[in-house]
Chain A
Amino acid sequence: MAKVTINERTVEVPNGTSVMDAIFHAGYDVPLFCAEKHLSPVGACRMCLVKTGAPRKGPDGNFILDDNGQPKIFWAPKLAASCVTAVTDGMSIDTLSDDVQHAQSGMVELTLLNHPLDCPTCDKGGACELQDRSYEYGLVEKFYQPSEMELPLYTRYEMTRRHGEKHHTLSEFVTLDRERCIHCKRCIRYFDEVPGDNVLDFIERGVHTFINTEEGDAGRSELPSNFSGNIVDICPVGALLDRTARFRGRNWEYDSVETTSMDDAAGAGIIADTRSGFLERIRGLERREVNETWLSDAARFGHDWVNENRVTRPLIRRDGRLVEATWEEAQAAIKSGLAGIPQTRIGVYLPGTATLEEGLAAVELTQTLGTPHRDFQNRTEFPATVFPAASFDDLLDAQFALVLGDPSEETPTVHLRLSEFSRNLKPAGKLNHGTPIADLNIKENMDRDTSKLALFSPYPAQLAKWAGASGTHLPGAEAALISALLGSGEAPAGLAEAVDWTKKRLSESQKVVIILGANVLNNLEAAQKAKQLAEKTGAKVMCMTPAANARGLEALGLYPQKGGASWTETGPNAAYYGFIPTEDQLKAANFRILHITHRNALTDKYADVILPNQTAYEKRGQMLNLEGRVLPLEPVSINNGEADGAVAALAVLAEAIGVKPPVRLVRQASKTLTEKHKLPAPMGRWNVKPASFQPSTPDTRHPTPLYLRPTMWRREQIVGAVANVVQVRLEVSPETAKANALTDGSFVELETPSGIERVTVKVVEGLPGGVMYLPALGNWAGRSVEAKILVGGEA
């Protein structure tokens, strides 16, 4: 620990803390623009200049003392940028003297020279760091008041400002205003350091410096990254703005709710901004243990769907048509529909985004009914809870990570944490009251250590660039691959060398983390081998489950009991579905209750009762992320009519059946979870006992499988701007295209678990042959089905 004096206040901070953090820790303020604690410190904006001094040792080895007998402080001749200066023991820091104030206010003046004062039309207005500092330092008398009797000047800068492009469309999601840019370089550093996609850089120099993509103006307007939205959050001014939220409201008009993203199993923290009942914007919430402050583009920009075409009232089928009804009428309709159906033949199926509370309600209700038919959407064939969960801190601490899957698409947060892992960063230090401190070890242009990562996936994965060994294999070849890693059997074709390297690294490493994708978890044989591998290497495991709350729902026992049908199977005579199942399942049941947010052709054709559901944003409750960490969900006020969550809907169902609902209220369920299931408080980790499971039907082999590759985008999100970005294409290798008479760019209609889809064909060099790839868009991710092409033809 270093003892540092800041303006006469002495604090102790860990060695290596930046002067800036020490100043904050002491309760003083220092202005900043370029510093961002998750990025490398660069000291470019020069806002945080402070005066520093340190004691010096004399020739006798003792500190030189001043008149009072204290070590004399020798002040540095130049002011130091506090974000890039590390504290030393005995250091003195001055943030209040005239020198420092003059430097800081002078820097605000310089920063403002070429910054347009268009705050009234700027989306950042009201939440802008530059605006705040301008108010704070703006009218410093010595600059702007020529004499005591005169009015202050508006500015001393009497030249024409630099002009630049005001609305440069960087991508479908992000717009750049080059006049507002203050060149803090946060966005450039972010892309380089965090996701590792070098897509932005400074062009030109001096006062003409501006930001552009690598392709420049001639290129396509897109940021080829799954994480482009984060630059909007970190931009200290309104230069980079979220196009999906642009001009939808002023910052002070939004209701901001801190909750958890249910877009993937990582449980990233989000701030949901609503205005007049519409979800307008999502920002990253700093949750250092999980997502730090970063979000994937799907979690940030894929929110427009919750405002549109919602089911706002219950619907019941009357004379073959769905008509609006009240909840009471819906309950009556359920009661009459379920008459004569035994309680043990009723199924309850929740979506993968169900909260722990909803899972508890479903489990307790099915237990009361004695039905084995219960499950949740996108549950993997092999339960994730069987593996000992690795936390993100475990990952940073590990010596080697083996990835079987594609983190960039399955759980994008894992991609970002693997980025830190590949830069050999350790979990950030904390001040003694728990605030994380900026890591001065982060440097610009750091090398990635490729000796720590191996990656194998059934579809080319971005992260192969940081892996010492990597390879693409056929979907279904996972078992053979893991067997080879275990030392028995041949490696799949072309992977022998990579497997040998990985085996060697696995045997050398003490701390290993294995990251499993949906393709492994859905392949029973492969998953069992992965378990052996984890046991052999003593590894902790991260399961990138397609269902966000898979670990939590499995832990509560929400999977089919003996004789029960899983979420992909037909079975129960009557069923409550919290999602839209396959047509076969809908057809097979006699009575179908769909508790959904949006209708489609299938629901209108088959549903007997539709209940309005809440999206994950509107729920109160808790979820368990892939680390087994309990994360809270707070309800965001979105216009949803009479929508209610599964806890209430299942209570309605119970009463319609004629049993006492085991759980009626979310808070009641939360209490039961805490008291009976010993669920820790939010941010704590729940060490769940491994699920006892019965192997279901083994993977069927298909002559030409259609592999539903995991994607970060889900089907319902594809509206508005997202629809222009997400490309749903059937991807095949040239040989497979030839064998199946498919040509590049032609349209095909094919049968998928989500219904019949019309997509274009894309022939991609280098893909494994004999398999077709279709983005799963949230449903059936990591599974193979038989490819059934119904109609093919030229574009």
Chain B
Amino acid sequence: MSDKVSGAGDALGPIISGKDPRFVPTLYAQVGKDKSWTLDFYLSHGGYEAIKKAIGMGQDAVIEEMKKSGLRGRGGAGFPTGMKWSFMPKNTGKQHYIACNADESEPGSFKDRYLMEDDPHQLIEGMMIAGLAIQATKGYLYIRGEYRKAYDRMMQAVKEAKEHGYLGQNLFGTGFEFELYIHRGAGAYICGEETALMNSLEGLRANPRQKPPFPAQAGLWGKPTTINNVESLCSAVHIIQRGADWFASMGTEKSKGHKLFQVSGPFKRPGVYELPLGTTFRELLYDYAGGPTEPIQAIIPGGSSCPPLPWTDEILDTPMDYESLVAKGSLLGTGGVIGIPASMSMVDAMWNVTRFYGHESCGKCTPCREGVSGWMVGLFEKIGTGQGKKGDVAVLENMLNQIEGRSFCALADAACWPVRGSLKHFRDQFVAAENGQAVERIGSRWG
């Protein structure tokens, strides 16, 4: 389609702004269109051509193309997708699996939802490409339990695809086979952790598993497995279709491509925006989201597990890519930007976040079960309800040291980072609360 864009970035520099005329939205191009979830609609704009092209390229070339594109996992951790695929053993004679992590439960993230609701075939095709690259003939799509509509649309899409020969044996007469199964979660945030997701798929209690062995060695039912985010898999479709160079022409040196950014909080137009990596917060929040409707004191740049940053010009002019945010002491995460209004106490905001993580802790390891789920929640309640006393903030800070980096999986870390970030930038509010200043609680609350 937009082949003219390919490689055109060289002379003018990389595309790092949504306003760059060379930038064309692809992932969300069909979202919101009438009947966009049907097979007919998908075929009408070149659907299932990428997988045919990929079959023609062959497994190794697909992985090479992915590596070349520089696509990094869009689930939050940012691990290069092509690299992940290349870790899969080859010709083991075992069943390989591709699992798609659609358990999008991070507060502030809602990009995958619309990909599944409005463009389900794009995800199916992405999973097929991944299946081809890692020799997986079976795929599992693990959908967050609350995403009922997405589940229905995906079920419908898989049914349609099967009926029309886009899933099953000997696809397109090439001998390629792929089966897709959809599993609906039961409402646990921990299932977004890849090994807990595998346990949940196997019918076990959703506790994370020990790594190593990594899923690529022994994943689902002990077989080699790769787990990717919805957005990563959807991006793979366009990388194959338009080439790695097109993808790499967007973004910064180490953060290539485009990404779905989500805006929530007091902004004029909250929602999902597809922009190249390296776009500034200012562009996203003012030019696209229309600017704040009330004074903002902090933004959480990538979903609730990322440390909040203060609402300053310096931060607003920071490009949104993996490295720039790490340099500022935060993370890109899933790209879910949450604005925290100045009228809200940071203590209250962090209390809400902590309570979420405390509720979602699986209870497997001590620091998360007792520390996050027990002590941190209790401390916030104590401080937040005006019962705090001097030294509580010091205990809270000490607690973060005791939990962070020592838990079994990253959930406890995810609970610690936002609190740590808040303490760094908004310590005065915590100290005020500790000294008995009541925290005003506003707005609807989680739980």
Contact = CB atoms under 8 A, between A and B. Distances in A.
A207 B366 contact: no
A110 B367 contact: yes
Given A41-B210, A79-B406, A201-B205, A114 B365 contact: no
A581 interface: no
B363 interface: yes
Contacts, number: 107
A303 interface: no
B369 A183 contact: yes
A515 to B, nearest CB: 28
Given A207-B358, A445-B202, A162 B366 contact: no
A162 B374 contact: yes
A44 B366 contact: yes
B370 A78 contact: no
Given A110-B371, A159-B378, A206 B364 contact: no
Interface string A86-105: 00000000000000001100
B204 interface: yes
A183 to B, nearest CB: 6
Contacts of B358: 206-207
Contact of A159 (B371, B382, B401, B406): B382
A45 B365 contact: yes
A207 B367 contact: no
B111 interface: no
Nearest to B372: A206
B318 interface: no
A445 B366 contact: no
A209 B363 contact: yes
Among A109, A183, A205, A208, the most chain B Cβ lie within 10 Å of the Cβ of A205
B406 A46 contact: yes
Contacts of A209: 363, 369
Contacts of A66: none
A182 B363 CA distance: 10
B205 to A, nearest CB: 6
B301 to A, nearest CB: 23
A46 B367 contact: yes
B209 interface: yes
A180 to B, nearest CB: 14
A193 to B, nearest CB: 13
Interface string B372-405: 1111011101100000000100010010011001
A207 B374 contact: yes
B250 to A, nearest CB: 31
Interface residues of B, number: 40
A111 B366 contact: yes
Interface in A383-437: none
A114 B374 contact: yes
B210 A110 contact: no
Contacts of B364: 42, 44, 183, 185
B365 A44 contact: yes
Interface string B75-96: 0000000000000000000000
Contact of B406 (A103, A202, A444): A103
A111 B407 contact: no
Q: Is the interface of B mostly helix, strand, loop or mixed?
A: helix
Interface in B169-213: 188, 190, 202, 204-205, 209-210
Given A103-B406, A106-B402, A207 B210 contact: no
Contacts of B381: 159
Contact of A207 (B204, B369, B395, B398): B369
Nearest to A160: B378
Contact of B382 (A79, A158, A162, A205): A158
A103 B365 CA distance: 14
Given A110-B367, A114-B370, A49 B209 contact: no
B360 interface: yes
Contact of A49 (B202, B222, B360, B406): B406
Nearest to B374: A207
Q: Is the interface of A mostly helix, strand, loop or mixed?
A: loop
Nearest to B370: A110
Contacts of A202: 205, 363
A159 B377 CA distance: 10
Nearest to A185: B364
B82 to A, nearest CB: 22
Among B221, B222, B406, the most chain A Cβ lie within 10 Å of the Cβ of B406
A691 interface: no
Given A159-B378, A207-B361, A207-B363, A113 B406 contact: no
Contacts of B382: 158-159
Contacts of B379: 159
Contacts of A81: 408
B359 interface: yes
Contacts of B433: none
Nearest to A83: B210
A206 B366 contact: no
Interface in A557-589: none
A84 interface: yes
Contacts of B359: 206
Contacts of A207: 358, 361, 363, 369-370, 373-374, 377
Given A46-B407, A84-B210, A202-B363, A109 B402 contact: yes
A110 B364 CA distance: 13
Contact of B361 (A157, A201, A206): A206
Nearest to A103: B406
A447 interface: yes
Nearest to B210: A84
B363 to A, nearest CB: 3
Given A43-B210, A205-B362, A205-B363, A113 B405 contact: no
Contacts of A78: 405-406
Given A46-B407, A49-B406, A206 B365 contact: no
Nearest to A104: B406
B373 A45 contact: no
B408 A46 contact: yes
Contact of A110 (B188, B221, B375, B405): B375
A79 B405 contact: yes
A159 to B, nearest CB: 4
Nearest to B211: A84
A156 B395 CA distance: 8
Among A84, A110, A183, the most chain B Cβ lie within 10 Å of the Cβ of A110
B366 A107 contact: yes
Contacts of A111: 366, 370
B204 A445 contact: yes
Among A49, A146, A158, the most chain B Cβ lie within 10 Å of the Cβ of A158
Interface string A105-146: 011011101100000000000000000000000000001001
Contacts of A77: 405
A205 B361 contact: yes
B214 to A, nearest CB: 13
B178 to A, nearest CB: 25
A236 to B, nearest CB: 12
A103 B395 CA distance: 15
Contacts of A158: 382
A204 interface: yes
Nearest to B359: A206
Contacts of A445: 202, 204
A53 B300 CA distance: 34
Contacts of B402: 102-103, 106-107, 109-110
A46 B363 contact: no
B366 A110 contact: yes
23 contacts: A44-B365, A44-B366, A44-B408, A46-B365, A46-B407, A77-B405, A78-B405, A79-B405, A103-B402, A110-B370, A113-B370, A113-B374, A158-B382, A183-B363, A202-B205, A205-B190, A205-B361, A206-B359, A206-B361, A206-B363, A207-B377, A445-B204, A447-B222
Given A106-B406, A205-B188, 9 more contacts: A41-B210, A46-B366, A107-B366, A111-B366, A159-B382, A206-B358, A206-B359, A206-B361, A444-B209
A-B CB proximity, top 7 nearest: A209-B363, A206-B373, A207-B373, A106-B402, A159-B378, A206-B361, A207-B374
